[in-house]
Structure 1
Amino acid sequence: MEIGERVAEARAERGVTQAQLAASIGMDRTALAKIESGSRRLTAVELVAIARELRHRMEWFVDETPPALASYRRAQPEVSVQAIDTELDSLVRDAEFVTSRCPELVKGQPDPLPHPATAEEAEELAASARRLLGLEPEQPAHELSRLAATVGLLVFAVNLGDGADAGTVLLKRGGVALVNGHWRVGRRRLAAAHELGHYLVADQFSLDWRVAASEAQGIEARLDRFARALLLPREDLRERWAKWLGVPDQTWRDAAVRAASHYGVDMATLARRLVEACLVDKGRAEDVRRVHTKQADIVEKNLVVRDELTPVSLPRPYEQAVLKLYRNEAITADRALGLLRGNFDHASLPDLPPAPETEIWEVTS
């Protein structure tokens, strides 16, 4: 029954009918319908054909769904499985496989921090996160994927189209966050920082749409505040904003362009943070929100162009662990390439030492 349900789920995800899938694998449609309903068993050969056609690894159909995702689906049966949900499912399976064989990939995770109940508690959570990440009190957080990995959160970025911003699943050790690489870099970084907040307060599962898009209250709004505080430390922003405005012939627009580049944020995030830091009123914040950084700004102001979490983006420690497994011949080249999500090809993998002659004779004799 469970395998049949997963076949139906994967088929719906690919957008094909029972008749189309049955025809592509040489099976009668009624037989496929019985498989999906759980009234007919399927052979290993049939499952291989279905998995290949629906572009899923076989274990996806037979292994248990990660507990956090399973709990989420049971709690919201009326919500259809989204692309980010399915991608998280796959990433969690991969991460758990790799960490089970390379436990040093995730050395553990910090004790859960309190859920922020107010805006100031969100600021305090950001200060605590800064200490955990090894950042100075007012140091901006760049290279979020690298920083998050130091506390056990593996941040991936995949292009999911015009959908959810991000999601996070807490594992037995560490966690996995997925950021929608479809969005621009500032929004990707904000989403990654927001997911780090979920991880630090130990939310079992989160799925976030349009991070920082509204003024709504609640834990999501406070984690938005946490994310902005992490990316734009309040006192540092105040000092730099005054400095940039104090440069001769520089306008508030010039200061905004410099700030967005320095902290690696989009203008909407910068505008909200400037209001929170009492540096502009809401009218000026709307002006900042409408600013577009031009190529001329980048050249004339010698700005740094940051492009973090460009899809497909994998945490470096995760990539290193996969390559270690391959070097140790614990996994095949095809398995390594699957775990590396298309970022490598066969020629990019490390060369393995030739097998000793005695080993060759043992195999061939």
Structure 2
Amino acid sequence: MSMDTASVGARIADARERAGLTQAELATETGIARTALAKIERGIRGVGALEIASIARALSARIEWFLTDPPAALVSYRLREGDDMEVATINTRLERLARDVESVQELEPSLVPTALEAQTPLRSIAEAERLAEHARQLCGLDGREPINDLIDVVGGLGLFAFSQELGADTADAGTILLSRGAVSLVNSTGSVGRRRLSLAHELGHYLLADDYTIDWRIANRSSSDETEARIDRFARAFLAPEAGLRTFWMSTRGDHSIRDAAVQTASRFRIDMSTLARRLQDLGLADQSECSEVRSAKTLQGDIVGFGLVVPHDLEGTTVPSRFGQAVLKLYRQKRLSTERALSLLQGTLNAEDLPETNRSHEDEIWDLLT
């Protein structure tokens, strides 16, 4: 839905303040008179097409951000919680990604698979374990195998997981529910184990149909918030299912020290040592002293070579989910997206030289259009 003059002005003012610019500075950047800009922000005066383009360019924003309503889940979140500046960066980026996914979905409705039925809130640890088992079944996984392509696995359920480096002092991840599917943004600044755990946690929020969430320090959080603690338990169980972990740990532990068993088990299930220690504790597979030893273990290059370990790279740097990327490239080939728009949607992961050739229109197709 398009926005009225007052709403557009308010969004311009909000974006300007987030960028740390005064009205005078933005006026200088855009060539718009400061008095005119003040009237635009107050909703007294409309904004022209060239003016909004200049403002968007100066504020590193997209034009549609000013002219259309944000996703409903974000509106609901802001009404409840306000727009805390501590989460402003991830809020803004999540909104941009949500708009991107929705715009591609409009052009390619098959982007999002069949809608999932929302699960009931978790009332116990046992329910968290059962939800993890159910989620793995939905993903076509059994109760033993590790999850290798986590982004693709959750993407098959309609959760589009992106990653960007947001810095060490901001949230681990956030998720916004769309009319169909959802978008997660994972902070790629942390370790790969932490990133995978964060995405598994966001999957829990998605399955529970939580409309908008921002999560901090997932790997090191206390259990004071029971709801979040249960979703943490879900995440650990999803990545390291009881049957698979128990069998592998007991087998490996029989032939190796605690430290060597931990190195091999963490690699198999692609989790970090902290998550492994907590999961072993969840299942009663290690006592407090052994869990402490697991936490302190570090995987060395010699371990990687000696044990033939896999080094995961999930959600490293800036990534886009393959299902989304494939849809963008399909639309580009069909000439339904411009080069500039396609590259923008792909978050800079490809250059113009990397894009495929567009489809050529056949003579009979052109004739059909003309007649």
TM-score (norm: length of structure 2): 0.92
- The corresponding residue for 1:192 is 199
Structure 1 residues 204 and 353: CA distance shift in structure 2, 3 A: closer
Q: Across the two proteins, how many residue pairs are aligned to each other? A: 361
Q: Percent identity?
A: 46
Q: How far apart are the structure 2 equivalents of 1:357 and 1:58? A: 36
Deviations 1:93-112, CA, capped at 9 Å, x for gaps: 11011111111111222211
Q: Secondary structure at 2:218's aligned position in 1?
A: coil
Structure 1 residues 51 and 293: CA distance shift in structure 2, 3 A: same
Q: How far apart are the structure 2 equivalents of 1:24 and 1:257? A: 54
Q: How far apart are the structure 1 equivalents of 2:51 and 2:364? A: 39
Deviations 1:143-190, CA, capped at 9 Å, x for gaps: 111111111111111111121111111111111111111111101100
1:47 maps onto 2:52 in alignment: yes
Structure 1 residues 358 and 137: CA distance shift in structure 2, 3 A: closer
Deviations 1:1-35, CA, capped at 9 Å, x for gaps: 21122112222332333232221112333432332
Shift of 1:220: 0.9
- The corresponding residue for 1:142 is 148
Structure 1 residues 95 and 353: CA distance shift in structure 2, 3 A: closer
Q: How far apart are the structure 2 equivalents of 1:128 and 1:360? A: 50
Bigger mean CA deviation after superposition, 58-67 or 175-184: 175-184
Q: How far apart are the structure 2 equivalents of 1:217 and 1:114? A: 18
Aligned partner letter, 2:212: F
- The corresponding residue for 1:219 is 227
The question of whether the paired residues in 1 share the 8 Å contact of 2:335 and 2:359 is answered with no
1:100 maps onto 2:125 in alignment: no
Shift of 1:357: 7.7
Structure 1 residues 113 and 355: CA distance shift in structure 2, 3 A: closer
TM-score (norm: length of structure 1): 0.93
Q: How far apart are the structure 1 equivalents of 2:296 and 2:42? A: 52
Aligned partner letter, 2:233: R
1:26 maps onto 2:26 in alignment: no
The question of whether the paired residues in 2 share the 8 Å contact of 1:190 and 1:228 is answered with yes
Structure 2 residues without counterparts, runs of 5 or longer: 1-5
Q: How far apart are the structure 2 equivalents of 1:217 and 1:356? A: 61
Structure 1 residues 353 and 230: CA distance shift in structure 2, 3 A: closer
Shift of 1:241: 1.3
Alignment of 1:1-365 (within 5 A): 1-77=6-82, 79-80=84-85, 82-162=88-168, 163-212=170-219, 213-247=221-255, 250-354=256-360
Q: How far apart are the structure 1 equivalents of 2:293 and 2:362? A: 69
Structure 1 residues 279 and 359: CA distance shift in structure 2, 3 A: closer
The question of whether the paired residues in 1 share the 8 Å contact of 2:115 and 2:181 is answered with yes
- The corresponding residue for 2:3 is none
Q: Secondary structure at 1:183's aligned position in 2?
A: coil
Aligned partner letter, 1:253: R
Aligned partner letter, 2:249: W
Shift of 1:354: 5.0
